[in-house]
A and B are shown apart, each in its own frame.
Chain A
Amino acid sequence: MAFEEILSDAFRGTIIVGLTLAGLLAVLIWIKNRTTRVSYLRVVVQVASLVTIFATLLFLAQWPSILTVAIILMPFVVGRFFCGWICPFGLYMDLTTFVRKAFKMRYWNLPEKVNVYLHNFRYVLAASVLALPLLYGALDLNVWGAFALFKPPFLPLIIFFLGPLEPLIIPSQMGGSLILTKGWNLSYPYTRGFLDFLSDPLLASVLAGILVAFALATAFKVRRFWCRFCPTGVSAAALNRFKGFGWAPILRINKAEEKCTKCGICKRVCPLQVTEVYEQKGGDITTQMCMLCLRCVEMCPYEDCLKVNMAGKTLFKSRNWLEPTKVSEKPNEKQN
């Protein structure tokens, strides 16, 4: 058991270091209002959350109850912030993007219409995932227990809500599809359901592998391809759709109409090809498509044009990213 202890310590260390780093960066951004570091912060947070999820799987027996809480809270609190900052599957896709960048290859942009079509397609996908339990005898009232959600017929619901949370490698007791080494299994995001519904584990693994390979391969050329029709995104963004719940995902992006010259940078840098940031005139421009990666806020060259609001308070704004560091270190001349 010494190995596991070392592992546990290592994980804890990574989490602590990661979160400290993230916190430090957040404070730096807050104090100096230098949004150029948001991308770095995002990667740090993503890695930290991946490690956290992995550690939770390993060492916390209360894993299902944590999931329940997460499922209930996610749409309320974070919205699609989850997709941009926490989702491990998103991190894998971002990693393939880094690989593409290293090869100096250009990404493909989907035509706008196709993008909107995919965006709508995810409702179909989400509905079919939700319908799966009904196909598998959910009408048997015996399964409607306290934790029925985590028992086979309803398992797709977890997949639906938290599918991408599945890290690629999981401990054996969690199931998984392919045995990697002793004690460790290979498991793909979104594919846990296959194992339960298909009797042949090999077939399930192959199918799951194909699905994940498809998602990662497409993400190599089309930025965050899966996220454009991810059913989890539907659940995370669900509350954005209803009026009166606008406050629910507490992070919002606001745009000041006058400060925008429509230079188009926000539209070009968006990994999900969200056009609303560019097209809408002003006000709240957070949409269901937006995963709040804040790349547009970071790249917007006009001061105060885009703002990130958290529960009504401005966290940070777009900055003149060309501004030399010299100025910010000196006393602010605007106060005179």
Chain B
Amino acid sequence: MKSKTEPKKYLPEMPQREIEEIQTTVKAASMKVMADNIERMKKTSPNRPAAMQYFDEISNFFGTREKEIRAEKEKGKKVIGYFCMFAPIELILAADAIPVRVNSGWYDTSKVGDRVVPVEVCPVIRSTIGAKMVGLSPYLELSDAIISTLTCDGMTKLSEILSDAKPILTMAPPRVKDSPQSLSLWKEEIKTIKTQIEKITGNKITPKKLRAAIETIQKATKAFRRLQELRKGPPVIMGRDAMLVNQTAQWDDLKRWTEKTEALCDELEKRVQQKMWACPPDTPRVLITGTPMFWPDNWKMPTLLEEGNPQGVLVADELCSSDRILYDPVGIDEWTWEDMINGIAERYLMASTCPCFTSKDGNEDRINWLVNKVKEWKVNGVIYYVVRGCMLYAMEYSRVKRVLDSLNIPVYYLDTEYTREDVGQMKTRVEAFLEMLSARVEF
């Protein structure tokens, strides 16, 4: 725990009035953006599933879920935030804490973050710093500690910068996945984070609790996968809706989320039988890969795609902010303590397709998984989405392009910023790509 007297290393002192001013304006703007996004999603698919109602509600950062977490916190529960999909949610749940992902998707706060780091830095990082400076993100403010995985350069320094404000628990993943020493290092990291979580929450993680947590997440994975499976067929749900469902898993109560997602899938399955599609089945099917995109502001890419003329539909993605959130399960052979820890370690390290990894043959896992996704989800075209400053994803592009070219799948590199200014220009680019795709589909 940080004492308040310690001098801050990075974050500047801001006058309270300025903080409040920015916070209120950004919050108001954000509320508007969220409402607007949902409104537009409803407009795109007039017969949107009724079960989406719940996810619209829970997606509001300043709504029911914030109140719930606040109430739980008052009862003594701890909240643990995390940045990357490497944080072992099972351990957080087993310690009776609430896991929330605190990456920021606000455009406006990235400008506040510019005061600490230069603009060349990835906007996800800048925006998160800004959100902390003005105290915008409720989940970030409510968390008692933040698990930061040192994946990319941005995340590494972000954890350092934010340690001015919050206790940060760092985990260092090895950059090479498939050597035995890297797995043993990662297992040690998992064990360390376990003791740290226990210390913060004051609850002991017992094998029984851990097993219950793993089973909870497995059930959530089950529902999550079911939704992704449904997207394999003709579009029964718009990509944005599915993405919203996926993203709410980052902060919702996972048991309730599972129930609601199953209900949504039930509804969708009925629609499949009635052949009631969200958009015409010959709509070009697009996959997005690259930098994670976060609710609420950074929603422009899928919005442009699905509101474009000609329309496209997002059937799958390879983003750690959407399809990768709960897709990989923890597989347990024997329910012993060691095996559970091993299972968790392997699930978070080995199954990850983060571009921060490399190996003898490059980041083969990501390429393979991408090819699999393209084939299984019958994708017509791939959009490679990168925000400026996201080195790792940008640098892997040429390899991905080469592989997808050999499969005769068009891929389009789209780089952008955390800003609304380039929406018009992006619209032209996306629509040209969709035009080409729909011509190919008809052909």
Q: Is the CB of B351 within 8 A of A334?
A: no
Q: Is the CB of A257 within 8 A of B368?
A: yes
Docked CA distance A106–B234 (Å): 46
Determine if A268 is an interface residue (Cβ-Cβ < 8 Å).
yes
* A333-B180 CB under 8 A given contacts A263-B347, A263-B351, A265-B346: no
Determine the main DSSP class of B at the interface with A.
Answer: helix
Q: Is the CB of A268 within 8 A of B226?
A: no
Q: How many residue pairs bridge A and B at CB < 8 Å?
A: 90
Report which of B329, B350, B368 forms a contact with A322, defined as CB distance below 8 A: B329
Return chain B residues, CB-CB under 8 Å to A268: 331, 333, 339, 342-343, 346
**CB 8 Å contact bits of B76-104 with A (1 = contact, 0 = none):** 00000000000000000000000000000
Return chain B residues, CB-CB under 8 Å to A327: 226, 229, 269
**CB 8 Å contact bits of A320-336 with B (1 = contact, 0 = none):** 10111001001101101
Docked CA distance A258–B233 (Å): 20
Q: Is the CB of B334 within 8 A of A336?
A: no
Most chain B Cβ neighbours within 10 Å, of A105, A259, A301? A301
Report which of A295, A324, A336 forms a contact with B233, defined as CB distance below 8 A: A336
Determine if A262 is an interface residue (Cβ-Cβ < 8 Å).
yes
Q: Is the CB of A258 within 8 A of B351?
A: no
A residues 230-281 in Cβ contact with B at 8 Å: 257-265, 268-269
Determine if B399 is an interface residue (Cβ-Cβ < 8 Å).
no
* A258-B369 CB under 8 A given contacts A333-B269, A334-B233: yes
Distance (whole angstroms) from the CB of B86 to the closest CB of chain A: 14
Docked CA distance A127–B183 (Å): 38
Q: Is the CB of B329 within 8 A of A258?
A: no
Report which of A112, A295, A301 forms a contact with B329, defined as CB distance below 8 A: A301
Determine if B365 is an interface residue (Cβ-Cβ < 8 Å).
yes
* A258-B222 CB under 8 A given contacts A104-B336, A301-B329, A336-B234: no
Number of interface residues of A (CB under 8 A): 30
Return chain B residues, CB-CB under 8 Å to A101: 334
Q: Is the CB of B339 within 8 A of A322?
A: no
**CB 8 Å contact bits of B304-346 with A (1 = contact, 0 = none):** 0000000000000000000000001101011111110011001
Q: Is the CB of B233 within 8 A of A259?
A: no
Distance (whole angstroms) from the CB of B23 to the closest CB of chain A: 41
Q: Is the CB of A261 within 8 A of B333?
A: no
Determine if B372 is an interface residue (Cβ-Cβ < 8 Å).
yes
Docked CA distance A313–B69 (Å): 53
Report which of B269, B336, B339, B351 forms a contact with A262, defined as CB distance below 8 A: B351
Docked CA distance A288–B334 (Å): 25
B residues 206-226 in Cβ contact with A at 8 Å: 218, 221-222, 225-226
Report which of B177, B226, B232 forms a contact with A323, defined as CB distance below 8 A: B226
Most chain B Cβ neighbours within 10 Å, of A112, A259, A260, A322? A322
Determine if A107 is an interface residue (Cβ-Cβ < 8 Å).
yes
Report which of A106, A261, A264, A265 forms a contact with B338, defined as CB distance below 8 A: A106
Distance (whole angstroms) from the CB of B319 to the closest CB of chain A: 15
B residues 107-142 in Cβ contact with A at 8 Å: none
User: Across the two chains, which residue of chain B brings its CB closest to A100?
Assistant: B334
Return chain A residues, CB-CB under 8 Å to B183: 264
Return chain A residues, CB-CB under 8 Å to B347: 263
Distance (whole angstroms) from the CB of A93 to the closest CB of chain B: 15
Q: Is the CB of B369 within 8 A of A261?
A: yes
Return chain B residues, CB-CB under 8 Å to A336: 233-234, 272, 275
Determine if B67 is an interface residue (Cβ-Cβ < 8 Å).
no
Return chain B residues, CB-CB under 8 Å to A260: 365, 368
Return chain A residues, CB-CB under 8 Å to B226: 323-324, 327
Q: Is the CB of B331 within 8 A of A265?
A: yes
**CB 8 Å contact bits of A84-126 with B (1 = contact, 0 = none):** 0000000000000000010011110000100000000000000
Return chain B residues, CB-CB under 8 Å to A295: 333
Docked CA distance A265–B348 (Å): 12
* A258-B368 CB under 8 A given contacts A268-B333, A336-B275: yes
Report which of B178, B328, B336, B368 forms a contact with A301, defined as CB distance below 8 A: B328
Q: Is the CB of B336 within 8 A of A269?
A: no
Determine if A299 is an interface residue (Cβ-Cβ < 8 Å).
yes
Report which of B272, B331, B342, B369 forms a contact with A299, defined as CB distance below 8 A: B331
* A262-B365 CB under 8 A given contacts A322-B218, A323-B226, A334-B233: yes
Residues of chain B whose beta carbon lies under 8 Å from any beta carbon of chain A:
177-178, 180, 183, 218, 221-222, 225-226, 229-230, 232-234, 262, 269, 272-273, 275, 328-329, 331, 333-339, 342-343, 346-347, 350-351, 353, 365, 368-369, 371-372, 375
Q: With A106-B337, A301-B329 given, name 9 new contacts (CB 8 A).
A: A261-B328, A261-B369, A263-B328, A268-B339, A299-B331, A322-B218, A323-B226, A331-B273, A333-B272
List 12 A–B pairs whose Cβ atoms lie within 8 Å, in order of A's numbering.
A106-B336, A257-B368, A260-B368, A262-B351, A263-B351, A264-B350, A265-B343, A299-B331, A299-B333, A323-B225, A324-B222, A333-B230
